[in-house]
């Protein structure tokens, strides 16, 4: 991964997050590096269970016992987030970094109306609200109505008075985005923000994120399994597999010239309309259980290109053009 520059907003180095279970220690994130530049959009893709959510929950300080961050540095604007106490971290969350969770229903508070939840966010991260009590309430209400409208929810005035369970799955996702954007963060981490959304609303939500990004100079981490979304919206992409980053680079490079066999397999297993009637080609086999993994390539058992040289720890290798991949076959290509 490229070296940090003064444009770097978030830098994660050697992150290792583990969970204690009855069967042993699950190493969900094992030596992950991430760099997010100011204003950029980083896509994060990877196998289900590969550690995408845990990586960014760690950044947000949201890993709870029996989980813990075992190693690594999380630098945000030059500050080490791991060194902050609870209160300081709470101030960072929301004001500087906002995250929308994959589980909209569990992340929203079931006992508060949607309007109350947006208002709470606006109050906590007071940005230019008037000081008079009534003026303030009116401003918050107007802003909340606007935010709900922007994420495509009709009759926002009435909807503000409803509770999360009264919304559809996709609406809850959009409400979370509205809440996250209401705080105007420097970094938005969106964990599967559009999974439940149809293409038209998905486009509207992603456009809203892109516009806000341009307007505020906000950076975005977009965790998604939708490679079409990555292709259209992300400057760079990072591919995870079994707790590690296995490939990263500029989006166009990774999609057009994937280096890691897992990335190649991922691109090969997209259900496309043109493939109707044929079998899709899923990557055969299963992800290894993340307990006591042997020192070898983690994709080994499922890899079509495997060989004896893969039975050791594999480092990220430079493929040229800022693209790197965790595979022994990767060779540097000359910049074209």
Partner 1 sequence: MTANRDSGPLLSVEGVSKTYRSGRRLADRLTGRPETFVQAVNNVSFGIERGEIMGLIGESGCGKSTLGRTILRLHEPTAGRVTFDGTDLGALPDAEMKAMRRRMQIIFQDPYASLNPRRTVAEIVGLPLQLHGLATGRGALREKTAEILEKVGLKSMHLDRYPHQFSGGQRQRIGIARALVSHPEFIVCDEPVSALDVSIQAQIIQLLTDLKQEMGLTYLFISHDISVIGYLSDRVAVMYLGEIVELGSVETVLANPRHPYTQSLMSAVPEVDRPGHRSRVRLTGDLPSPLAPPPGCKFHTRCPLAIDICRQKAPVAESVGPGHTAACHRLHENLSLLEQEAS
Ligand X SMILES: Nc1ncnc2c1ncn2[C@@H]1O[C@H](COP(=O)(O)OP(=O)(O)OP(=O)(O)O)[C@@H](O)[C@H]1O
Please report, as ranges, the residues that interact with partner 1 according to CB under 8 A: 19, 21-23, 45-50, 52-54, 102-106, 152-155, 158-159, 161-163, 166-171, 174, 192, 195-201, 203, 225, 227-232, 255, 265-267, 269-273, 275-276, 279-283, 286, 289
- 15 versus 220: smaller Cβ distance to ligand X: 15
Q: Is 166 in the site for ligand X (CB under 6 A)?
A: yes
Give the CA distances from residue 325 to residues 37, 143, 247, 309, in Å, rounded to whole numbers and listed in that order: 20, 44, 4, 16
Applying the rule CB under 6 A, the residues between 239 and 278 that interact with ligand X are none
- Smallest distance from the beta carbon of 118 to ligand X, in angstroms? 16
- 125 versus 174: smaller Cβ distance to ligand X: 174
- Smallest distance from the beta carbon of 175 to partner 1, in angstroms? 11
Q: Which does 150 bind (CB under 5 to 8 A by kind): partner 1, ligand X, Mg ion, none?
A: none
Q: Is 100 in the site for Mg ion (CB under 5 A)?
A: no
Q: How many CA atoms lie within 13 A of 141 on its CB side?
A: 10
- 73 versus 250: smaller Cβ distance to partner 1: 250
Q: Residues 19-38 vs ligand X: string with x where CB under 6 A? A: x-x----x-x----------
Binding Mg ion (rule: CB under 5 A), the pick from 53, 57, 248, 263 is 53
Cis link prior to 9 (omega < 30° from 0)? Answer: no
Taking the C-alpha atoms of residue 196 and residue 334, their distance in angstroms, rounded to an integer, is: 41
Evaluated on CA atoms 44, 50, 53, 58, the torsion sign reads: negative
Applying the rule CB under 6 A, the residues between 55 and 114 that interact with ligand X are 67, 102
Binding stretches for Mg ion (CB under 5 A): 53, 102, 168-169
Q: Which residues bind ligand X (CB under 6 A)?
A: 19, 21, 26, 28, 46, 48-54, 67, 102, 165-171, 196, 290
């Amino acid at each position: 991964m490229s070296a940090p520059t003064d444009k770097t907003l978030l830098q994660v180095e050697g992150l290792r997050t583990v969970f204690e279970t009855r069967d042993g220690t699950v190493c969900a994130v094992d030596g992950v590096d991430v760099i997010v530049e100011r204003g950029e959009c980083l896509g994060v893709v990877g196998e289900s269970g590969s550690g995408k959510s845990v990586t960014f929950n760690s950044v947000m300080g949201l890993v709870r016992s029996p989980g813990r961050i075992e190693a690594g540095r999380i630098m945000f604007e030059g500050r080490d987030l791991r060194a902050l106490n609870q209160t300081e971290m709470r101030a960072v969350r929301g004001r500087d970094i906002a995250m929308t969770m994959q589980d909209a229903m569990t992340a929203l508070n079931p006992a508060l109306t949607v309007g109350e939840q947006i208002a709470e966010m606006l109050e906590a991260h007071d940005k230019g609200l008037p000081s008079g009590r009534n003026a303030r309430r009116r401003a918050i209400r107007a802003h909340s109505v606007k935010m709900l409208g922007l994420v495509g929810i009709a009759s926002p005035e009435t909807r503000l008075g409803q509770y999360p369970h009264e919304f559809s799955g996709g609406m809850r996702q959009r409400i979370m985005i509205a809440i996250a954007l209401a705080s105007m963060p420097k970094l938005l981490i969106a964990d599967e923000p559009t999974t439940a959304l149809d293409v038209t609303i998905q486009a509207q939500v992603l456009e809203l994120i892109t516009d806000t990004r341009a307007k505020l100079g906000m950076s975005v981490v977009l965790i998604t399994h939708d490679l079409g979304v990555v292709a259209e919206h992300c400057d760079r992409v990072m591919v995870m597999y079994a707790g590690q980053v296995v490939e990263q680079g500029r989006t166009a490079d990774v999609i057009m010239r994937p280096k890691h066999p897992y990335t190649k397999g991922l691109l090969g297993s997209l259900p496309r309309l043109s493939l109707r009637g044929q079998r899709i080609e899923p990557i055969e086999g299963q992800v290894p259980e993340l307990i006591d993994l042997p020192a070898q390539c983690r994709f080994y058992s499922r890899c079509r290109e495997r060989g004896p040289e893969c039975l050791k720890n594999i480092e990220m290798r430079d493929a040229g053009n800022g693209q790197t991949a965790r595979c022994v076959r990767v060779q540097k290509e000359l910049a074209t």
